[in-house]
């Protein structure tokens, strides 16, 4: 299903949260803007902008990235590395951008791959880089390009086979293809509370890494390739 070498693909996943721990901690102007955005999220009389505040993290204007996990395959081994921070998103993005640029130097046919990456991960990273004044790596600078000029891979898009109304979760596809579930501890709906209430960033990083690994395994399954065994998965420190 892909016309490139797996060694040229950088698999990734991101985790995001609102910029503030709760609605009432946010500046007044921020609250006003969120009130407008939240109107479309309120579905019943018990909801208000404060009760749906946890969903602010999915919007790049109101959220921030707390973890980016990447995975790449070389010699049938899968290497995983994470960039994460509680308070310094700019440094997180700067370090990630440096890694992407270095990966591109070694792999000029580089492609990004994520699940729902074209709708979420790729544009979210790009927007937060611009907001934080971090130069965009060329592979993220897609402004003005035609859809067929953007060669990044989206495992959800591949699974649609042209069915534009179909959304399939990574967890469901993992189960379908016999891949260990990345949601065996927490899932995306729990990240906000895990970060701001439980203050367990490392737990979120582990979850993010599992998603990145699952994306890599899923793309292999799409291409009739065996899954990479656990003993061939190595975890690297961000500075490696």
6-19+62-226: what fold?
A: Nucleotidyltransferase; domain 5 (3.30.420)
> DSSP labels for 71-103?
EEEETTEEEEEEEE-SS-HHHHHHHHHHHHHHH
b/e sequence 7-31, b meaning 16+ C-beta within 10 Å: ebbbbbbbbbbbbbeebeebeeebb
b/e sequence 105-133, b meaning 16+ C-beta within 10 Å: eebeebbbbbbbbbebbbebbbbbbeebe
Residue 171 CA to residue 158 CA, distance in Å, equals 16
3-state secondary structure of 50: coil
Run of H or E residues at 215? helix 201-222
Please, which residues have CB within 8 angstroms of residue 138's CB and are 6 or more apart in sequence? 104
Please, which residues have CB within 8 angstroms of residue 117's CB and are 6 or more apart in sequence? 12, 152, 153, 154, 155, 156
User: What is the edge-to-edge ordering of all strands in the sheet holding 9-18?
Assistant: 153-154, 111-114, 9-18, 63-74, 77-84, 233-236
Instruction: Kindly give the confidence (pLDDT) of every residue in the chain, 240 residues in length, as a single tens digit, with 9 standing for 90 and above.
Output: 565 689 999 999 999 999 999 999 999 999 999 999 998 888 888 889 999 999 999 999 999 999 999 999 988 899 999 999 999 999 999 999 999 999 999 999 999 999 999 999 999 999 999 999 999 999 998 877 777 677 899 999 999 988 877 789 999 999 999 998 877 778 888 999 999 999 999 999 999 999 999 999 999 999 999 999 999 999 986 544
Distance of CA 148 to the CA centre of its chain: 22
Run of H or E residues at 204? helix 201-222
Run of H or E residues at 123? helix 121-131
- The residue ranges of every structural domain in the chain are 6-19+62-226
């Amino acid at each position: 299903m892909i016309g490139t070498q797996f060694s040229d693909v950088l698999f990734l996943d991101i985790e995001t949260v609102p910029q503030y721990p709760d609605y009432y901690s946010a500046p007044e102007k921020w609250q006003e803007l969120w009130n407008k955005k939240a109107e479309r999220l309120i579905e019943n009389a018990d909801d208000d902008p404060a009760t749906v505040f946890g969903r602010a993290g999915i919007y790049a204007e109101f959220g921030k990235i707390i973890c980016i996990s990447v995975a790449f395959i070389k010699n049938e081994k899968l290497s995983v590395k994470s960039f994460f921070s509680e308070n310094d998103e700019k440094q997180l993005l700067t370090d990630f951008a440096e890694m992407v640029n270095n990966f591109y130097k070694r792999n000029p046919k580089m492609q990004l791959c994520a699940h729902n990456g074209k709708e979420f991960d790729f544009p979210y990273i790009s927007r937060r880089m611009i907001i934080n004044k971090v130069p965009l790596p060329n592979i993220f600078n897609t402004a003005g390009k035609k859809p067929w000029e953007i060669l990044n891979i989206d495992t959800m898009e591949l699974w649609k086979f042209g069915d534009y109304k179909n959304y399939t979760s990574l967890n469901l596809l993992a189960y379908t293809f016999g891949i260990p579930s990345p949601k065996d501890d927490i899932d995306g709906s729990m990240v906000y509370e895990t970060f701001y209430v439980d203050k367990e960033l490392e737990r979120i990083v582990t979850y993010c890494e599992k998603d990145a690994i699952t994306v890599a395994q899923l793309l292999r399954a799409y291409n009739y390739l065996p899954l990479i065994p656990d003993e061939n998965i190595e975890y690297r420190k961000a500075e490696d």
